[in-house]
Structure 1
């Protein structure tokens, strides 16, 4: 698929303005979309929207489901408007909330308590049409919702324990046992379904609000799902598991020059068995994703060509081996099902013959980030002036430092070469890089809210390899500055249009 030339901004909904400890799908989301509209942007990029877990530092890349939405993003003001909550329920007196960062534990406690109240009032006072709509939703989304809601109910029943530690008949999904728990935990199952119903309604409204202004959403699809997820528990046949449904091998990357590799711990797929089903599980996952976004970034694209599998009982990444990925066969199946392939391939660090060939065979743009550039090497592929059309150019990403933070850590020689290549003295480096990216030949030019605001390393979203202190930065209402929007519009009108 060839993208029209566009530009946009990456900002995850947790980072929106809001008054309940975390960004949500209410007024803050609409304010950001208004900012994009004023800035003449046509793409909004997000991270995965799934329900996050404290054990994983609330990373959106390690969620309880690759299908479900995060209930912490639900706008409680909307539930007041619908009569499920009272204004007094939203009183935040005594809550430890900040407009500048997410306080996940406090926000989770506050919001889930209100969501439970809203659910009880909905059950008691909701009219017949609302109850019918809720029942219809549960039926329409049952292919993933039934297992996800039972999984969350069972997590609560077993004190939050990892599902691989649950009783054997639950872990291995004995039908009679699951039927018994569905009856015993019916209230909790229904509550979890209610949270998803409300999330989907609110997300659909936000998406429509963006689309009406010509803004398309670029979602994110991690190649792997978390071990402690409804996905692995509910579809063990899709993964490389042992006979008792525990991982046989987990994902990671091999040792490279100067490092010892990484052990991510996510179960790897049984691609052979998936191929026998026509990749049914993956098509279901993509069908759900494309009901929520227009485009999707394929995280760790290399894994579709070849993936590093580490024995689950080993902590050493070097103990792994390369295994063949699904390659062309998978993308042919996806194209047969969906037509165009509106994907961006995250190929940073994996520009080998296999992954490049796979990306080019299906006309998928790769990624380019100036922070990977050797500014003193003529023609280096990560210098913006050398980006090809079939790429998406970023000033920074959710996993990198901000432009200002990167520049402040840059060595003297590289800094001098950057100045020479971009024709700048570095006094406004964030916007220098934005303009360089916008002037590139890339089909999509993307920046972050942090770079628009010229923020340093304190505002970066995530530092890979660290478990805490990530994903908590937020923009304030004042940060959605119309002057900044106008500045970006001028740059866009001079370069992208």
Structure 2
């Protein structure tokens, strides 16, 4: 797919010559012969990548480190997945999306979010016993030890918008075969190690699916200090053991960045009220890490930026911004002896050291 896309001047696959778009066997064989060297080069590059990746993963696992990887529920339209399996998606006669994915209007957006990804044809997928999804999950479980499933609620019901629409307003809800789908996956992958990304507006039906299969959801501490204190589900005293608690994710600001540029004065007052004292801003990142460590959450995660006490310029990602993301690096000397000691002592104090048989 990568080589063909380059061969056709990066055009979307549905705009390739019809015989290649439709994967005619003779035409494909001829083009593969024509692009033989480029294909072999691409194979080698992918071989090198996976060799290096699995060497890194083995090294991490030997050190007792598990790697969590993200798997978005949807794939992009201009991808090998849609080109090779157009029947699994709701496409029109020209093999372009008839409908696209998104989420409806809510408190945060009057027009909703129009993602533009092609929507699954679940009837066809179920008729094939979820074979494509099984292969996708199987591949990700080789790459990662745990998989975080993005937009989990889309496996229960999903928002579908006609492809010609400019916003997500005029969409409709549709049901997905959640119970049958996950039962099938669990039969093939017993103990399926996934985290359900359940942020945002989550229905009771979604919660029931998660509870039925025992999938842990997510808690984001930086979202917890709104006006609904102490009822907010992201406050540590409201956690259940089967959850994964974060100070923030890759899409959030750092703790210090949040305090400086995003948190309102009332948010800070509620934070100090919850802590029971007005902690100095210079050490407040440790206070929030401690809140998570001392909670009942089976797993707690915090970005290294928060451990190091970094500010907004060191955040990982700004959603919706195309440039400058995923470039943050740290220098080894930044992880000082004092920081390492503080983190280790806190980890041991709250029984989260491996020898204590806690996560």
TM-score bracket for this pair, using the shorter chain length: over 0.9
What is residue 178 of structure 2 aligned with on the other side? 327
Q: Aligned-pair distance for 1:375?
A: 4.8
Q: TM-score, normalised by structure 2?
A: 0.93
CA distance 1:278–1:481, shift in 2 (3 Å): farther
Distance (whole Å) between structure 1 residues aligned to residue 83 and residue 303 of structure 2: 35
What is residue 307 of structure 2 aligned with on the other side? 452
Distance (whole Å) between structure 2 residues aligned to residue 207 and residue 249 of structure 1: 38
Determine if contact 2:308/2:335 at 8 Å carries over to the other structure: no
Q: What are the residue-to-residue correspondences of 1:39-58 with 2, within 5 Å? A: none
Which structure 2 residue ranges, 5 or more long, are not aligned? Answer: 354-359
Q: Aligned-pair distance for 1:448?
A: 0.3
Which structure 1 residue ranges, 5 or more long, are not aligned? Answer: 1-150
Tell me which of 271, 277, 282 is aligned to 2:122. Answer: 271
What is residue 413 of structure 1 aligned with on the other side? 266
Q: Aligned-pair distance for 1:482?
A: 4.5
What is residue 283 of structure 1 aligned with on the other side? 134
1:253 aligns with 2:103: yes
What is residue 489 of structure 1 aligned with on the other side? 344
Distance (whole Å) between structure 1 residues aligned to residue 335 and residue 43 of structure 2: 34
Distance (whole Å) between structure 2 residues aligned to residue 219 and residue 485 of structure 1: 25
Distance (whole Å) between structure 2 residues aligned to residue 481 and residue 359 of structure 1: 40
Tell me which of 93, 99, 114 is aligned to 1:243. Answer: 93
**Range with bigger deviation, 322-331 or 376-385:** 376-385
**Range with bigger deviation, 422-431 or 485-494:** 422-431
Q: What are the residue-to-residue correspondences of 1:85-484 with 2, within 5 Å? A: 151-259=1-109, 260-376=111-227, 377-408=229-260, 409-423=262-276, 424-427=278-281, 428-484=283-339
Q: Aligned-pair distance for 1:171?
A: 1.7
Of structures 1 and 2, the one scoring higher in RCO (CA 8 A, sep 6+) is: 1
Query: Is the partner of 1:247 in helix, strand or coil?
Result: coil
Q: Aligned-pair distance for 1:426?
A: 4.0
Determine if contact 1:395/1:447 at 8 Å carries over to the other structure: yes
Query: Is the partner of 1:210 in helix, strand or coil?
Result: helix
Determine if contact 2:73/2:149 at 8 Å carries over to the other structure: yes
CA distance 1:237–1:402, shift in 2 (3 Å): same
What is residue 42 of structure 1 aligned with on the other side? none
Distance (whole Å) between structure 1 residues aligned to residue 136 and residue 216 of structure 2: 21
Determine if contact 2:74/2:118 at 8 Å carries over to the other structure: yes
